[in-house]
Structure 1
Amino acid sequence: MVFSSLTTPQMCGLFAKHLSFHIIGALVISLGDAAFYKFAVTKPRKKAYADFHRNYDSMKDFQETRKADIFQSTKSFWNVKNFFGWSSMEVCH
């Protein structure tokens, strides 16, 4: 009598049922992670880059770093220019 009240285990289609459940769950989680990354990381990063490049003057930055003697290539070029007496020539327009 006790055995008649127990349900039989599902043997047919069990793997497909679990597989479909996990595939749908993985899809939902990955889409959620992608949306989170887009709005939490990518958009603020794009905004920060746009704000930086809106007011950035590359020639001013280059002149400041050249005056600080950071660039060895420009330093040697100016020494060669002065060595040959080309100080009156215009190098950059």
Structure 2
Amino acid sequence: MASSTLTKPQMQGLLAKGLGFHIGGAFTVTLGIAALCKFGVAESRKKAYADFYRNYDSMKDFEEMRRAGIFQSAE
């Protein structure tokens, strides 16, 4: 029978070793989500608002709402 020696398990520094990996992963995931929100949501929303207000006529919109009877005091 050949006896093989087992390696000693790491008992100290295990939390610090795992923490470095998890902090790096959390930072990477957070950056990815932030970039997705900025470019996927915020930029498209800014573009939609800019397109809407490029040709928006507030007086024309007011007159349409007044004719529809939405305003009671602007007869």
TM-score normalised over the length of structure 1: 0.73
SS in 1 for 2:11: coil
- Counterpart of 1:16 in structure 2 is 16
Aligned residues: 73
Greater C-alpha radius of gyration: 1
Moved over 4 A (4+): none
Return the alpha-carbon distance in structure 1 between the equivalents of residues 26 and 35 of structure 2. Answer: 14
The amino acid of 2:65's aligned partner reads: T
Residue correspondence of structure 1 range 1-93 to structure 2 within 5 A: 1-2=3-4, 4=5, 6-75=6-75
Q: Deviations over 1:9-37 (max 9, x none)?
A: 11111000111111110000000011011
| TM-score between the two structures when normalised by the length of structure 2 | 0.90
Tell me the percent identity.
63
CA RMSD of aligned residues (A): 1.0
